[in-house]
Amino acid sequence: MRYAAPTSVAEVVALLGTDPEARVFAGATDLVPQMRAGRPEPGLAVDLKKIDRLMDVSLEVGTWRIGAAAPTGDLTANAALAADLPGLVYAGGLIGSDQIQNRASLGGNLCNASPAADSVPSLVVNDARAVVAGPDGERTVAVLDIPTGPGRTSLAPGEFIVCFEVDRPPARTSDAYLRLIPRTEMDIAVVGAAARITLDGDGNCAGAAIALGAVAPTVVVVPAATEALVGGPITDGVLAAVAAAASETANPIDDKRGTVTYRRQVAGVLAKRAVTEAAGRAGNGGGQ
Amino acid sequence: MSRIHVSCNINGDDAEFLCDAGESLLDALRDEMRLMGAKEGCGTGDCGACSILMDGRLQCSCLMFAPEADGATIVTVEGIAAGDNLHPLQQCFLEGAALQCGICTPGFLVAAKALLDRNPDPTETEVRYALAGNLCRCTGYDKIIRSVLDAADRMKEEVAG
Ligand SMILES: Cc1cc2nc3c(=O)[nH]c(=O)nc-3n(C[C@H](O)[C@H](O)[C@H](O)COP(=O)(O)OP(=O)(O)OC[C@H]3O[C@@H](n4cnc5c(N)ncnc54)[C@H](O)[C@@H]3O)c2cc1C
Ligand code: FES
Ligand code: FES
């Protein structure tokens, strides 16, 4: 294996063009354990952490730009970001230990393409976009369209993510993320559920997005839950419909972390609770 | 393949070493720099025995490629005492019997130092969360947590003087 630490996006594009075995990395918190487990080393490991655009977290004209290689510890330490996107920042703070959060990035979490990646449902409910660089320049693509299956993404060879763009939530809007693990810390989600809710001036639901992790080959959205929510007050009956829609959408596998039946049930419970938490914050003014 | 030359600062001293691109920083610290404090428990980020500070941030050196250290400032457990004077955390671990086999201890000390550097007055819950990335097979954790809380008290008294 060779190692390179370029300082610009253009240099990364050029390096990836020279070697088909090249791989970008940020924290290497997925890459190194996979190498230790016997997966082949990349021919060239391209460290993204020396590039400002990949590391910066900034707010510009109503849009957050989160560098794809920024460690999630930089997100949890950013009070303005946490006020705007509390669910996303909370999800970043669930990834591993402090040691891991000083390295783990959103770009790595998404592109490793584990169905259980904790930050991805929150990126999705907040309509996050990925700015992708490659040999043909840069393009912007919805985060939802990046993962295509466990360990697989829609990125073309030579492409990588520079940063994520997330618009500041409108008034009376907030998000939440909940995951179930058998321990308090340091485990992989059995189920994860993210919600983003917008209320109108009367407390009725004016906008809703729900996404689930760890219950399908990729993150999944739950349009039927949005339909149940939008246009009225968030009553117990509506929450029951949200839970039913989430359980219905979940398409999990049986594994040592949980059975299909259990995961479907928990998907419903967590979706309902995430909606309640997001709506509670939205009712208190939300992000702005 | 030619080896990579890395210049960095380790525990206050300028240091240089040669490493392979795929070598972990943990291996470079132990094999090239002969700093045996950081340990390899798992090699996959789970146990924290390899914890170090790089540019002030707590990280698992087993997950870092050694060339990443170029230009960085590193603190290992060897660097936390002031000369012959043990760090209050080290003293409290000794007095509180917070170690048995000792494999996990360097990682716990570095992680606890990172916590106390940013939060001199942590609650027990905060200590437990901050040390969640460090595993110990021997002690049952309780003595470790007590010792960190004792060290925090001692350091506050020293500041108050
Ligand atoms: C002890 C431990 C606990 C963990 N706990 C959790 C947890 O609770 N929840 C969770 O979701 N994950 C967890 N993880 C997994 C991992 O930490 C996360 O997925 C993390 O976000 C990966 O980020 P990274 O920067 O380290 O990725 P890397 O390992 O650097 O990269 C991962 C993959 O993504 C690719 N990649 C990285 N950046 C980009 C980019 N900008 N563009 C394109 N491709 C890219 C790499 O080529 C590689 O294939 C844990 C890992 C460990 C070791
Ligand atoms: S050896 Fe690095 S975390 Fe276990
Ligand atoms: S003292 Fe033996 S592992 Fe902690």
Are B63 and A32 in contact (CB < 8 Å)? Answer: yes
User: B55 to chain A: nearest residue by CA?
Assistant: A102
Whole-number pLDDT of residue A30: 98
Mean pLDDT of A8-24: 96
What CATH number is associated with residue B130? 1.10.150.120
User: Would the CB of B62 count as within 6 Å of ligand 2?
Assistant: yes
Q: What is the DSSP letter of B66?
A: G
* Whether residue B151 sits in one domain with residue B106: yes
| Residues A272, A274, A279: CA angle, nearest 5 degrees | 95
CA A54: distance to chain centroid?
Answer: 16
User: Would the CB of A146 count as within 6 Å of ligand 1?
Assistant: no
Q: B92: distance to nearest CA of chain A, Å?
A: 23
Residue with tokens 């606890």: B112
* Whether residue B135 sits in one domain with residue B109: yes
Q: B149: how many CB neighbours lie within 10 A of its CB?
A: 19
Domain end call among B58, B79, B100: B79
**Structural domains of chain A, with CATH:** 2-167 (3.30.465.10), 173-283 (3.30.390.50)
What CATH number is associated with residue B54? 3.10.20.30
Does A286 score more than 80 pLDDT?
no
* Whether residue B35 sits in one domain with residue B72: yes
Residues of A in contact with B130 (CB under 8 A): 98
Does A185 score more than 80 pLDDT?
no
Q: What is the pLDDT of residues A19-61, one digit of tens each?
A: 999 999 999 999 999 999 999 999 999 999 999 999 999 999 9
Residue B76 forms contact with A (CB below 8 Å)? no
Mean pLDDT of A247-256: 93
Are A97 and B114 in contact (CB < 8 Å)? Answer: no
In the A/B pair of chains, how many CB contacts fall below 8 A?
A: 78
Whole-number pLDDT of residue A256: 86
* Whether residue B100 sits in one domain with residue B75: no
Mean pLDDT of A242-254: 96
Residues 6-65, chain B: which have Cβ within 8 Å of A? 20-22, 24, 43-46, 48, 51, 57-60, 62-65
Q: What is the pLDDT of residues B13-30, one digit of tens each?
A: 999 999 999 999 999 999
Whole-number pLDDT of residue A172: 97
Whole-number pLDDT of residue A81: 98
Does A178 score more than 90 pLDDT?
yes
SS3 assignment, position A60:
strand
Are B63 and A2 in contact (CB < 8 Å)? Answer: no
Are B133 and A100 in contact (CB < 8 Å)? Answer: yes
pLDDT classification of A287: cutoffs 50, 70, 90? low
User: Would the CB of B77 count as within 6 Å of ligand 2?
Assistant: no
Residue whose C-alpha is closest to residue B88's, from B135, B22, B150, B141: B150
> Rounded mean pLDDT of chain A?
96
At position A88, the amino acid (one-letter code) is L
Sheet bearing A137-142, strands edge to edge: A57-60, A63-67, A160-167, A129-134, A137-142
| Residue to mutate (ligand 2; options B30, B36, B59, B60; most atoms within 8 A of CB) | B60
Whole-number pLDDT of residue A285: 73
Nearest to B130 among A29, A96, A98 (CB): A98
Does A145 score more than 70 pLDDT?
yes
Residue B105 forms contact with A (CB below 8 Å)? no
* Whether residue B75 sits in one domain with residue B119: no
- The rounded distance, in Å, linking the Cα atoms of B65 and A32 is 9
User: Would the CB of B25 count as within 6 Å of ligand 2?
Assistant: no
CA A271: distance to chain centroid?
Answer: 16
pLDDT < 70 positions in chain B: 1
Which contiguous run of DSSP H or E holds residue B72? none
Distances (CA, A) of B38 to B48, B69, B72, B105: 9, 15, 17, 9
Given a contact cutoff of 8 angstroms between Cβ atoms, the answer to whether A91 and A194 are in contact is yes
Mutate to test the interface with B, among A31, A98, A188 (most CBs of B within 10 A): A98
Domain end call among B45, B79, B113: B79
Show the domain range for B11: 4-79
Distances (CA, A) of B160 to B114, B153, B154, B156, B157: 21, 11, 10, 6, 5
Are B45 and A184 in contact (CB < 8 Å)? Answer: no
Q: How many domains does chain B have?
A: 2
User: Would the CB of B47 count as within 6 Å of ligand 2?
Assistant: yes
* Whether residue B135 sits in one domain with residue B70: no
Residues with CB under 6 Å of ligand 3 are B 99-104, 136-139
Q: A180: distance to nearest CA of chain B, Å?
A: 17
Q: Tokens at residue A208, please?
A: 């809703």
Nearest to B133 among A2, A5, A99 (CB): A99
Give the E-state strand segments of B24-122 in sequence order.
Answer: 51-54, 57-60, 73-75
* Whether residue B73 sits in one domain with residue B22: yes
Q: What is the pLDDT of residues A58-92, one digit of tens each?
A: 999 999 999 999 999 999 999 999 999 999 999 99
- The rounded distance, in Å, linking the Cα atoms of A33 and A218 is 21
- The rounded distance, in Å, linking the Cα atoms of B156 and B151 is 9
Given a contact cutoff of 8 angstroms between Cβ atoms, the answer to whether B107 and B139 are in contact is no
SS3 assignment, position A237:
helix
Q: What is the pLDDT of residues A189-213, one digit of tens each?
A: 999 999 999 999 999 999 999 999 9
* Whether residue B101 sits in one domain with residue B72: no
Q: B108: distance to nearest CA of chain A, Å?
A: 11
Nearest to A3 among B48, B65, B132 (CB): B65
The distance in angstroms from the start CA to the end CA of chain A is 47
Given a contact cutoff of 8 angstroms between Cβ atoms, the answer to whether A82 and A174 are in contact is no
Ligand number nearest CA of B43 is 2
* Whether residue B111 sits in one domain with residue B68: no
* Whether residue B94 sits in one domain with residue B63: no
* Whether residue B41 sits in one domain with residue B13: yes
Q: B161: distance to nearest CA of chain A, Å?
A: 31
User: B44 to chain A: nearest residue by CA?
Assistant: A33
* Whether residue B101 sits in one domain with residue B143: yes
Q: A264: how many CB neighbours lie within 10 A of its CB?
A: 19
Distances (CA, A) of B124 to A148, A201, B138: 42, 42, 20
- The rounded distance, in Å, linking the Cα atoms of A192 and A109 is 14
Domain end call among B41, B59, B79: B79
Does A288 score more than 70 pLDDT?
no
| Residues B77, B80, B83: CA angle, nearest 5 degrees | 120
Mean pLDDT of A152-163: 98
Whole-number pLDDT of residue B1: 62
Mean pLDDT of A152-162: 98
Q: What is the DSSP letter of A119?
A: T
Whole-number pLDDT of residue A284: 85
Does A171 score more than 60 pLDDT?
yes
Whole-number pLDDT of residue A182: 85
- The rounded distance, in Å, linking the Cα atoms of A130 and A35 is 26
Given a contact cutoff of 8 angstroms between Cβ atoms, the answer to whether A85 and A91 are in contact is no
Q: A88: how many CB neighbours lie within 10 A of its CB?
A: 30
Q: Tokens at residue A181, please?
A: 């693990």
